[in-house]
Structures are given as C-alpha cells and as structure tokens.
A and B are shown apart, each in its own frame.
Chain A
Amino acid sequence: GQQLNQSPQSMFIQEGEDVSMNCTSSSIFNTWLWYKQDPGEGPVLLIALYKAGELTSNGRLTAQFGITRKDSFLNISASIPSDVGIYFCAGHSGGSNYKLTFGKGTLLTVNP
C-alpha cells in the first residue's frame, strides 16, 4: 500500500527557533494535509494543500505541496512552547472516498 515517510521522527528545539519537517512518498498524491495532535486529543488540521507547487501559510506555519506531487514540507517559525505536539502529514491520492494515508509523525518538543 501507499506509505508516507515523514522526517524527522522527533525534534528538540529552543523557543524562538524555526522548525522544518517533511514528508515524501513513492507515489503521487493529489492533496497534502498537515495535522497536529496534542496529548489525549485527536489530530487537528493545520494546513491543506490542493495543487502542486502551492505554498500556503497559517500564522507562523507554512507548508508547500511539492511540484513532483510526491512530497510536502511544513515550516514553523519562531516556535513557542504551545507548538509542542506530534505533527502528521497526510496525503489523498484521489477518488471520492477521501481516505487519507498518514505519515508516522514528528514529535516536537520546545524548550522554553
């Protein structure tokens, strides 16, 4: 089946630093999504990307849909303690069922 390779698996940074994480796939996706999961909660959608090459921002978050349609990255600028959590990429390969394939997540720890 389809797999998404998400890296890094974990990051430990200082407050104020910028963060970058990415996802790659061996197959093409038509939509890329980035989610954040806090402890004890379900994933929450951060950014959705629908077009190859698209660059979208949501506050301090910026994500891009790779032009090959096989990768995406998420940047977080000027990190703050509440950015702590697990970040997941997810891809949709098309069709009407909206089934998503998820990466295994990046655990972000921010040291105040």
Chain B
Amino acid sequence: DSGVTQTPKHLITATGQRVTLRCSPRSGDLSVYWYQQSLDQGLQFLIQYYNGEERAKGNILERFSAQQFPDLHSELNLSSLELGDSALYFCASSVALGGYTFGSGTRLTVV
C-alpha cells in the first residue's frame, strides 16, 4: 500500500457520459498530480494541485477538470467521454521531488 488511495479501481461507462475519479494523497503530502497512461502515449501529466490551488497544467483536455478540497483529497472530472479517453488514470502525491508516490490507478473504459 503506497498510501495514495484511488477510487474506483475500474470504471466502465458509455460515450458522452461524465465520471469522477477520486484520490486521497499520502498523509502529510500537500501536492496532488494527475497522470493519464495509455498504450501509445505513455504517462502524460494532466494537472497538479498544491494545498488546494492549481499549480501546473499539462496536456489536459478542456472536457477534463480537477480540484483539490480542503482535506487535500482531489477529484478528476471527465465529461463528454470519448472512446479515446479509455486509459489508466493515476494520482500521485508528494511533499518533495524524491517522495513522489503513485496510487494504484483507475482503469477507465469508455464503450
């Protein structure tokens, strides 16, 4: 157990739908990062939050959004889902660069 908790582990939904992925960071970590992993693109950085505020943005689509709540958990919202959004979505947390810890991921399948 890495200490980073992601739910749900698996999600199957239809095109056009909206889903929410949840991440609880490791105790004491203020930063949360979201990554998308697909077979052809590898691990792609989506967005980072630090203590509730957006800190960095990567290749995140406009249909996707995220937030970090006062208790530091984070949610990634994916809307108007397309087949190509099927991927593994990872959350990671850190206090410093060497302490970057990943959760076990959410496998999203869009049918």
B43 touches which of A1, A45, A88 (Cβ 8 Å)? A88
Could you tell me if A102 and B104 are in contact, using CB atoms closer than 8 angstroms? no
Interface residues of B (CB under 8 A from A): 2, 4, 31, 33, 35, 42-45, 48, 50, 55-56, 58-59, 90, 92, 94, 96-98, 100-105
Decide if the interface of chain A is mainly helix, strand, loop or mixed.
loop
Q: How many A-B residue pairs have C-beta atoms within 8 angstroms? Tell me.
A: 61
Decide if the interface of chain B is mainly helix, strand, loop or mixed.
strand
Q: A44-B2, A98-B94 are known contacts. Are A103 and B31 too (CB-CB below 8 A)?
A: no
Count A-side interface residues using an 8 Å CB cutoff: 25
Could you tell me if B43 and A99 are in contact, using CB atoms closer than 8 angstroms? no
Could you tell me if A41 and B42 are in contact, using CB atoms closer than 8 angstroms? no
Contacting residues, chain B, for A1 (C-beta < 8 A): 59
Q: Does A75 reach chain B (CB closer than 8 Å)?
A: no
How far in angstroms is the closest Cβ of chain B from A50?
8
Could you tell me if A45 and B48 are in contact, using CB atoms closer than 8 angstroms? no
Could you tell me if A42 and B100 are in contact, using CB atoms closer than 8 angstroms? no
Which residue of chain A lies nearest to B98 when distances are taken between CB atoms in the complex?
A48
Which residue of chain A lies nearest to B43 when distances are taken between CB atoms in the complex?
A102
List the 4 shortest-distance A-B pairs measured between CB atoms, nearest first: A42-B102, A97-B56, A102-B43, A104-B42
How far in angstroms is the closest Cβ of chain A from B34?
11
